[in-house]
Structure 1
Amino acid sequence: MSDFSERLKSCIGKRENTSFARKCGVSEGTIRSLVQGQSAPRLDTLLAISNVAGVTVEWLATGRGPKTYESLTEVNESSSVKPNKRMTITTVIEWELGDE
Structure 2
Amino acid sequence: MYDTEEKCMELAEKLKKICEAKGSTPYKLAKEAGISSSTISEFLKGNSKPRIDTLLIICNQLGISMTDFLEEREVMEQYAKEEEELVKVYRSLSGEKRKQLGTYVKMLEEYSGRIDD
TM-score range, shorter chain: 0.5 to 0.7
Instruction: Kindly indicate whether structure 1 or structure 2 has the higher relative contact order, using CA contacts under 8 Å at least 6 residues apart.
Output: 1
Aligned partners of 1:22 and 1:28 also within 8 Å: yes
1:37 Cα deviation from its structure 2 partner? 2.1
Aligned partners of 2:11 and 2:70 also within 8 Å: yes
Question: What residue in structure 1 maps to residue 16 of structure 2?
Answer: 9
Alignment of structure 1 residues 45-84 onto 2, 5 Å: 45-63=54-72, 66=76
Please say which structure displays the higher CA radius of gyration.
2
- TM-score, length-normalised on structure 1? 0.55
> Following superposition, which runs of at least 4 residues in structure 1 exceed 4 angstroms of deviation?
64-67
- TM-score, length-normalised on structure 2? 0.49
Q: Which has the higher helix share?
A: 2
Aligned partners of 2:15 and 2:26 also within 8 Å: no
Unaligned 5+ runs, structure 2: 1-6, 88-105, 110-117
Aligned partners of 1:18 and 1:28 also within 8 Å: yes
Amino acid corresponding to residue 36 of structure 2 in structure 1: S
Aligned-pair identity (%): 29
Instruction: Give CA-to-partner distance per residue, 1:20-60, whole Å, 9 cap, x none.
Output: 10122210111111122222110111001111112220232
CA RMSD between the two structures: 3.0
